[in-house]
Amino acid sequence: MPSALCALPASNRQMPLTRRPLRIAFYAPFKPLDHPHPSGDLVTASGIFDFLVQCGHQVYPASHLRCRWIYWKPWLWLKMIWEKRQVAQQFSDTSVDLWLTYHSYYKAPDLLGPTVAGKLNIPYVIFQGIYSTKRRRQLTAKAGFYLNKKSLCAANHVFTNKSVDLLNLKRLLPENRVTYVAPGIIPHDFCADDRARSQLRKQWNVGDEPVIFSAAMFRPDVKTEGLTWLIRACGELYRQGQNFRLVIAGDGKQREKLQQLADEHVGDRVLFLGKIPRQDIYRFYSAADIFVFPGIRESLGMVFLEAQSCGLPVVAFNNAGVPEAVADGKTGLLVPMYALEPFVDAIRRLLVDENLRQQMGFAAKSYVREYHDLNKNYRELELALNAIVKGR
């Protein structure tokens, strides 16, 4: 795993660790900050925005225009032209130091930031820039690939919180323009609560049964696919006579379908909680013993960090951004994609071995606090942004 912050230009690393309040234009082309549907992307974007504000910087939402598949939506092209003019005028009056875009990739390339930052003659920075060359061979994604590539090349600096994206970006940009920042949460917000554990387990009437906990939105995509794998795996364990209770937090259009599947596979061993506010979910992690969610093509999976921070070992698929959040063999067990038998075996192993659960759970808490503390990791991001503005 890369260090929390790496690949910062040597000249910047040698600068004194000083900071001054910055005026930052912030833009999220994939999902604006006020988007009504929660997701890991929204959590990360909001986390960066809130952290910079708390550090004393003035951070201005630049635009609410969503660029998702915009190149297939010609009715938005004129709006984009108008938005560029309006935003450039807004920030020429406000006089900002830096443009910071969160998440530019082939589905939602940043078409606003490069133009406006160029007009204002300020540094243009991307956090979570993604460069995936396989997209240029896909008819539906080819336009987005080249538009995103243009944005990445225009950036003064690109930060990423995924190791695989760091490697890919280095194929496009000089090493001194790419920096890895480890993903993070505020561990203090996700601590084990013994009182909540006692209350909820009594409410669920689980006694000493080990509780498998999962949380996701019930969208008709990889989230529901992942929960389907979880339910089927628990069905295998149920048929083998394994003792457990499955508790799932979340809601969405696929709820009825998932409940029917759960009734078929695990009967009365499952409990659907509905949507839980993020600020309260630590209580439900606290009442569980294992966190299980496959994380199919999961960009990062903030739930993995939250669960580990509360002392839960994790079982998931070894793919995409999951290894970024879970230390395989230390804080959880990662298995090959779509391998049902190893997935079931990993869950069973933690169900039957209480000592292993406790050992991994303890390691998980320490791991999050050492490597994935948002305040530590984003402090380095803040210093880097200061260095970029100073260098400019």
Closest listed residue to residue 142, CA positions, set 106, 110, 103, 112: 106
Report the chain's C-alpha Rg in angstroms.
22
In which element (H, E) is residue 262 found?
helix 255-266
Scan for tokens 């389907």, then name that residue: 228
- Pick the more confident residue, 196 or 3: 196
Residue 281 phi/psi, 5-degree rounding, is -70, -20
What are the pLDDT digits (tens) for 334-390?
Answer: 999 999 999 999 999 999 999 999 999 999 999 999 999 999 999 989 999 999 998
Q: What does the pLDDT look like over 293-349, one tens digit per residue?
A: 999 988 778 899 999 999 999 999 999 889 989 999 999 999 999 999 999 999 999
CA dihedral 28, 31, 37, 38 (to 10 degrees): -50
Give the three-state DSSP class for 242. Answer: coil
Backbone angles phi, psi at 351, to 5 degrees: -65, -40
Which domains are delineated in the chain?
Answer: 5-184+373-391 (3.40.50.2000), 187-371 (3.40.50.2000)
Instruction: Report the C-alpha gap between 389 and 97 in whole angstroms.
Output: 7
List 247's β-bridge partners, or say none.
Answer: 213, 271
| Sequence-ordered list of residues with C-beta below 8 angstroms from that of 82, at least 6 positions apart, any chain | none
Residue 219, judged by CB atoms within 10 A of its CB (0-12, 13-18, 19+), counts as: middle
| pLDDT at residue 86, as a whole number | 93
The string of pLDDT tens digits covering residues 95-118 is 899 999 999 999 999 999 999 999
Average pLDDT over residues 49-62: 94
Quick one: tokens of 146? 């080249």
Q: pTM for the whole thing? A: 0.82
Q: At what angle do helices 113-120 and 77-94 cross, to 10 degrees?
A: 30
pLDDT mean across residues, the chain: 91
- pLDDT category of residue 34 using cuts at 50, 70 and 90: confident
